[in-house]
Every structure is written in structure tokens, then in C-alpha cells.
A and B are shown apart, each in its own frame.
Chain A
């Protein structure tokens, strides 16, 4: 986790550009590997007929390392997070000809964060469809295509742009399966970069998970490491449900060794990042790294926090979360989402409903301030949760 540790050292990441030429060689190498992996994986049709090959992995292993890839037989290979997402797309597109990609600049340009780099050359312009700038319409096209048997992966160039597609995401991705009496399935994936980046301004720094969470029929998942990015992308593509996959603008260049063998993660499961005894810290996406940075300080101060990356933002994995609370009896939620009506607010409510009797302290929730994300760096820093606040919160909870 080289890049991850640099994250720990410097809260303001994003220095290495996703466009940097240094990753070109690695990309072609990973493409070659993907070919091999896909070839070994067998027929997609047979796999689908036989149900999901979803490994219940990555939960509650006692390993201290955040990387869950260690159990792999072979050595694995190092990738950046955006390359891991790309590998997932390539593997799924090779296995299943109904998988296709729609979005702005996903084809010839290769995607604004290079997640779809080279895919148009590999699969053709129809399977990797460069769309005009018309978010609501191309998302709606994804719905229509999904109703007629395709499995579209729709990219929002920036998650915030998907506000323009809110009607299609809510009415048609979320509700159409229900209103049609179950006749039509919408196996669509909507994905893209979101979160507070580095002085991107208010509109490009949005956390849409709070807006999407009350849409019935929609699943939401947030990736945070190259390992889980690949496994969750593959699971999202294979899911019969519409899934929104949240990526974070600051995490695309995280580096990690991931298995050479094909793997798929479970969409609904949380990931145990660091087992501990004193307090349960629930987090996701980029805040995972702020939490881990705080955890180092906390360990030095004699605390033993348990860190869980909830990953599934809807539905919550109340099993993993509950087991942890039954052990620690204390909960801190750390999110980049907004304070009002955010994921943390929903999570806190779910914990109160289900695990009230196990709590020895009030649940604390550290969220972003309810402000449009400012441009100026010190104000932007003050908008999102910083590691020092996490340390202070744990100290307060554990008093």
C-alpha cells in the first residue's frame, strides 16, 4: 500500500496525476494479464446460470494489513486503483458480450480518469460508446438497453454531473423493476469519480450518496482500494440490480498488489480494515485513510480501535457492523458525506434501531460541514473531517 501510506503522510493527496506517463507501461502489462485471467475464468454464461460466484471474503480476517489480497496463491500484480477498475471492466466485457460502457469521453479519450483507457480499441465504438454531453438521456438509454438485455456501465465523468440524470436514476433505475411488476430488470452500473478532491470547487466536490440513498431499488457501494475496486466493479456488473459504484477522485492513484486470479467481492459486505477492541470506527471511501492515519496516533496513545470500511452504502452490512458493536460497545462514524441527511445519519439511525442495548456511549458521527465545498484550501480542509478530529472523538467516546 505504498500510495496509501503516502496518503497517511499527506492528507492532501492527488499530486501524481492520473495522466502521468509513468503508468503507461504498467497499463499494457496489466492488460496482458487480464487477457490471461479472463481466458482462465471460463464461460460467463455458465457462470451466470449457476448463480453468483461471490466470495464472502474480506470480512473480519484478523490480518492487520488493510490489503485483503494477501491470501492469493500467486504473487499477484501491482496496480493503481483506476487500473484495477479497468481490469474489472476488461474481464467482464471479455466474458460477457452484453456488457458495454456509456459515457462522456469513455471511448477515444479513455475516460477522464483513464478507467476506460484503450477499451474502445479493444471492444469497438459501440461497446464503449462515447456519448454527447446529455447525462439524463444517456443514463436513460442505459435503462432502456438494460431492459432489452444489455448490462451497461454508465460513467458519470464526475459524479456531480449525475445530478442531471437524477430523474432517470430515481424513476427508472430505481423504480421501474417494481412498477413493471418485476417484468423488467435493470442490471445497470452507474459509476464515477466523486468526493472532495483538491480545490475542485463546490460543484465538482459533491457526495451524491446522500441524494441517492433514499431511492428504492438502488444499491450503492463505495470502493477504497485497488483490491476492492476491482472486486466490487465485477460484482456490480454481475448484479441483477441497479448499482451505483462510488469512486473517489483522490484514490485513483492508490497502488496495491492484487491477485492474478479472478475474484469477485460481495456487494453487500463491509470490510474489516483493522480489528480492535475499544471502539468501532465506521467509514468508507477516502475517509478510510484519514481514519487509518488517526488510528496510528490512537494506537500510540494506547487505544485499540476497530476500523470497518462499510463499503456497501445501501444496504448496510448490519452483521459485520453489529458484531463489532457487540464487542466494542462504542461507535464513531467518519464520513465525507454531508452532516444533514447523509450516510452517517442513516447509519446512526440503523445502529440505534438494531444495537441500542449494546451501546455504552452515544454514537458520534463526524461528517462534512453543511457548506458548498469552498475553493480555498484552508476552507476546504475545514469542510471535511481531519485525522485530529477523529483522534479527539475517540478519546471522548472512550472516556
Chain B
């Protein structure tokens, strides 16, 4: 959680310093959801995120330096600088994106969960622990989109190992959840499709973790999907381009008082699980990680021009056969973008 917070604060600094561009959506305030869920996963389990994906990537184990370098648009970024803030992927960590349009990640997550079931039942390849689980993260705004309903239906129909995690931060940019949704209690839509729907305080990482554990285990056992609504709040605007003038100061301060990181710290100290100075030294370590990430990203090279055409097709034959009868991609100049085509 602390890594996520410090990382995102650093992103804001770097954005204002002109180190990164485009739309940058920060996760401040919602950390308990990412940590509460993703830290329970195995390497083979999948995460499908949205445009607000930096912290999901960090929770899944993608190194901070790879994420920061991606945000800087550098060749060393986790997607070679080709994805950017809203398109974080990491194949070894089974982070399947980074989807920038509302709802489009949910079918992809459902497909990943289908593949897990397929590996188990058709290919007979699943691990002894059970099925690989996919977590689909999305917000309250997405829950009025057809792909959400379509996939709840299919996931329950086929008992897919997936957990639908709604991060209800009450606002879809400037559209209040209450103004957009006929029945604002999203978790109730689970039982409508025959799956459990659970509401949890998304500002309390321990509560989130408890709910997440049950949902993930259920999925792993092959008992099907769960819809979890985490009530949370984003402490910053929708993106760094959002002046955030619509949300009332009262509302902001109400949720600021429930900061999940402050709350966990308080709990840890009260329970004598660690001392203040121990927590400080952990924070210092995390500061160093984020500093190092920035240094790494800053020092990394920009992608060369020759990279432009490299990942358009997995099989570059997709570029076709040129007038000379050779595959156009076989012309060494082609990937530099100067070939006669």
C-alpha cells in the first residue's frame, strides 16, 4: 500500500515536471483494494486492470522501475514504452493489462478464466492447488456497461474461476455513482446472476483481504465467480488532467479521514505488531525503491526508431509481400520505416 502511495505521488511530481505525458490516473486512496486482493495471488493467477493500473502492476510484483520507465516512455519500460500509463502488461507476472476503455478488460479477464478452466478440463494441466484465478478490477462507472452484465452471466454460466472486483470510488470522472445508477448497491447484482455478491469497506485492507481470500479460494476450487464491491475513494482527481472541482470538500475530507494506510498503521501500532520506528524504516526503504525507479527511468534510453514496427504483428508476415516478392518485413529498412512499400 505504501509503495503504491509513494509511487503515485512521485508520478504526479514527474508529470508536473514534464517527465511523463498523456492521461495519468492515480490510485491514491484505493490501495487497500489492490493490496487486499492481489497479495493473495500466485504467480500463475492473472490480474486484469483498467486505466488506473500502476498500483495493480506493483501489487502483482512488476518492479517499480519497469512501471516508472514505461511511464517515462522508455525502452526499458515493462511494455518497451509502447503501452504507457493505461496499458501496463507483464507476461511473467500474468498482468494482462491495462485496459483504457471502460469495461473492455472484463471480457478479457473472463477469457483468461475460461482458459484456466480449459487447461484443467481439456488439457488436464492444472496445478494441484486448483484452478488459476483471474481478478478483474473495474470501477462503479463500468457497472452500468453491458460487458459487465454479459460477463457476469457467462462467468456464472460456466463457473469460471474469476473474481469481479468493483472499486466503487463513487465517481465516474464527474458523474456521481448515485446519478448514474438506478440501484447503486452494485454487490446486489451478483445474486441476480446466481453468484455471491459481497460488499466490503474498501478502505480497510484487512477486511478486503478477508473477503478476497474467500472469493479467491472459491474460484480456485472451481465453485465459480464472486462479485465484490469495495467501497473506496480516490484522493486525487480522475486523472492528473482533472481539476477535480465537482466533488465537495466535505466528502473529500470524510474519506481522507479513513485513509487506508493511516488506518493500518494505527492498527499495527495498537496491536504491537511493529513500532513506529520500524514502520518509518520500511517507509524509507520504499522511498529508496521509488527514487531508484525514477533514476532508472530517467537514465534509460528512449526507444529507437527501429522499434516502431517491431510488435505490430507477432508474425511479421502480416506486413505482407512487397512488389519484389519478398515479405516486406524481410527488408531491413522496413522496420526503420523508410522502406519503399
Binding site for B on A (CB under 8 A): 97-98, 100, 124, 126-127, 129, 131-132, 134, 136-150, 152, 167-168, 171-172, 176-187, 216-217, 219, 239-241, 267-269, 312, 314-320, 322, 354-355
Q: Is the CB of B146 within 8 A of A136?
A: yes
Q: How far is the CB of B144 from chain A (nearest CB, A)?
A: 15
CB of B171 within 8 A of chain A?
Answer: no
- For B98-128 the 0/1 string (1 means CB < 8 A from A) is 1111001011111111111111011100000
Q: How far is the CB of B114 from chain A (nearest CB, A)?
A: 5
With beta carbons under 8 angstroms apart, the residue of A134, A216, A217, A355 that contacts B150 is A134
CB of B157 within 8 A of chain A?
Answer: yes
CB of B67 within 8 A of chain A?
Answer: no
Task: Return chain A residues, CB-CB under 8 Å to B312.
Answer: 177-178, 216-217
Binding site for A on B (CB under 8 A): 46, 48, 77-84, 87, 89-91, 96-101, 104, 106-119, 121-123, 134, 146-147, 150-151, 153-154, 157, 310-315, 317-328, 340
Q: Is the CB of A180 within 8 A of B91?
A: yes
Q: How far is the CB of B121 from chain A (nearest CB, A)?
A: 6
26 inter-chain pairs at a CB distance below 8 angstroms, sorted by A residue, are A137-B151, A138-B154, A140-B110, A141-B107, A141-B114, A141-B151, A143-B107, A144-B107, A145-B111, A145-B115, A148-B46, A148-B96, A171-B100, A177-B313, A179-B82, A179-B83, A179-B89, A180-B98, A181-B311, A184-B89, A219-B313, A241-B313, A241-B315, A241-B318, A269-B321, A318-B322
Q: Is the CB of A181 within 8 A of B151?
A: no
With beta carbons under 8 angstroms apart, the residue of A132, A149, A355 that contacts B115 is A149
With beta carbons under 8 angstroms apart, the residue of A142, A178, A314 that contacts B311 is A178
Q: Is the CB of B89 within 8 A of A183?
A: yes
Whose C-beta in chain A lies nearest to the C-beta of B46?
A148
Task: Return chain A residues, CB-CB under 8 Å to B115.
Answer: 144-145, 147-150
Q: Is the CB of B104 within 8 A of A168?
A: yes
With beta carbons under 8 angstroms apart, the residue of B82, B111, B314 that contacts A240 is B314
Q: Is the CB of A126 within 8 A of B321?
A: no
With beta carbons under 8 angstroms apart, the residue of A150, A182, A312 that contacts B314 is A182
Whose C-beta in chain A lies nearest to the C-beta of B310?
A182
Task: Return chain B residues, CB-CB under 8 Å to A239.
Answer: 315
- Residue of B114, B119, B310, B326 ringed by the most chain A CB atoms within 10 A: B114
Q: Is the CB of B108 within 8 A of A140?
A: yes
Expressed in whole angstroms, the Cα–Cα distance for A64 and B83 within the complex equals 50
Q: Is the CB of A172 within 8 A of B104?
A: yes
Whose C-beta in chain A lies nearest to the C-beta of B326?
A319
With beta carbons under 8 angstroms apart, the residue of B80, B112, B328 that contacts A181 is B80
- Residue of B46, B146, B319, B322 ringed by the most chain A CB atoms within 10 A: B322
Whose C-beta in chain A lies nearest to the C-beta of B116?
A148
Expressed in whole angstroms, the Cα–Cα distance for A150 and B99 within the complex equals 20
Expressed in whole angstroms, the Cα–Cα distance for A186 and B115 within the complex equals 13
Q: How far is the CB of B103 from chain A (nearest CB, A)?
A: 9
Task: Return chain A residues, CB-CB under 8 Å to B96.
Answer: 144, 147-148, 184
Expressed in whole angstroms, the Cα–Cα distance for A142 and B154 within the complex equals 13
Known interface pairs A217-B312, A315-B328; A132-B154 also in contact (CB < 8 Å): yes
Task: Return chain B residues, CB-CB under 8 Å to A171.
Answer: 99-101, 104
Whose C-beta in chain B lies nearest to the C-beta of A150?
B115
Expressed in whole angstroms, the Cα–Cα distance for A339 and B27 within the complex equals 47
Q: How far is the CB of B20 from chain A (nearest CB, A)?
A: 16
Given pairs A181-B78, A318-B322, 8 additional interface contacts (CB within 8 A): A136-B146, A137-B110, A141-B107, A147-B108, A178-B311, A182-B80, A239-B315, A322-B323
Expressed in whole angstroms, the Cα–Cα distance for A182 and B46 within the complex equals 18
Expressed in whole angstroms, the Cα–Cα distance for A148 and B47 within the complex equals 12
Q: How far is the CB of B322 from chain A (nearest CB, A)?
A: 6
- Residue of B48, B80, B107, B317 ringed by the most chain A CB atoms within 10 A: B107
Whose C-beta in chain A lies nearest to the C-beta of B84?
A179
Q: Is the CB of A147 within 8 A of B112?
A: yes
Task: Return chain B residues, CB-CB under 8 Å to A322.
Answer: 323
Q: How far is the CB of A147 from chain B (nearest CB, A)?
A: 6
Expressed in whole angstroms, the Cα–Cα distance for A176 and B82 within the complex equals 10
Task: Return chain A residues, CB-CB under 8 Å to B116.
Answer: 148
Expressed in whole angstroms, the Cα–Cα distance for A174 and B123 within the complex equals 27
With beta carbons under 8 angstroms apart, the residue of B112, B122, B314, B320 that contacts A144 is B112
Q: How far is the CB of B219 from chain A (nearest CB, A)?
A: 15
Expressed in whole angstroms, the Cα–Cα distance for A181 and B91 within the complex equals 10
Q: Is the CB of A141 within 8 A of B110?
A: yes
Q: How far is the CB of B74 from chain A (nearest CB, A)?
A: 11
With beta carbons under 8 angstroms apart, the residue of B111, B321, B326, B328 that contacts A142 is B111
Q: How far is the CB of A187 from chain B (nearest CB, A)?
A: 7
Known interface pairs A140-B147, A144-B107, A148-B111; A97-B122 also in contact (CB < 8 Å): yes
Q: Is the CB of B107 within 8 A of A140?
A: yes
Expressed in whole angstroms, the Cα–Cα distance for A168 and B117 within the complex equals 22
Whose C-beta in chain A lies nearest to the C-beta of B152?
A137
Task: Return chain A residues, CB-CB under 8 Å to B150.
Answer: 132, 134, 136-137
Expressed in whole angstroms, the Cα–Cα distance for A303 and B211 within the complex equals 77
Whose C-beta in chain B lies nearest to the C-beta of A164?
B146
Q: Is the CB of B320 within 8 A of A268?
A: yes
Known interface pairs A134-B153, A181-B311; A147-B118 also in contact (CB < 8 Å): no
Expressed in whole angstroms, the Cα–Cα distance for A149 and B91 within the complex equals 12
Task: Return chain B residues, CB-CB under 8 Å to A320.
Answer: 321
Expressed in whole angstroms, the Cα–Cα distance for A198 and B324 within the complex equals 41
Whose C-beta in chain B lies nearest to the C-beta of A124?
B122
Q: How far is the CB of B109 from chain A (nearest CB, A)?
A: 6
Whose C-beta in chain B lies nearest to the C-beta of A100?
B118
Q: Is the CB of A144 within 8 A of B110?
A: yes
Q: Is the CB of A319 within 8 A of B325?
A: yes
- Residue of B89, B119, B146, B340 ringed by the most chain A CB atoms within 10 A: B89
Q: Is the CB of A182 within 8 A of B311?
A: yes
Known interface pairs A126-B122, A181-B80, A268-B320; A137-B154 also in contact (CB < 8 Å): yes
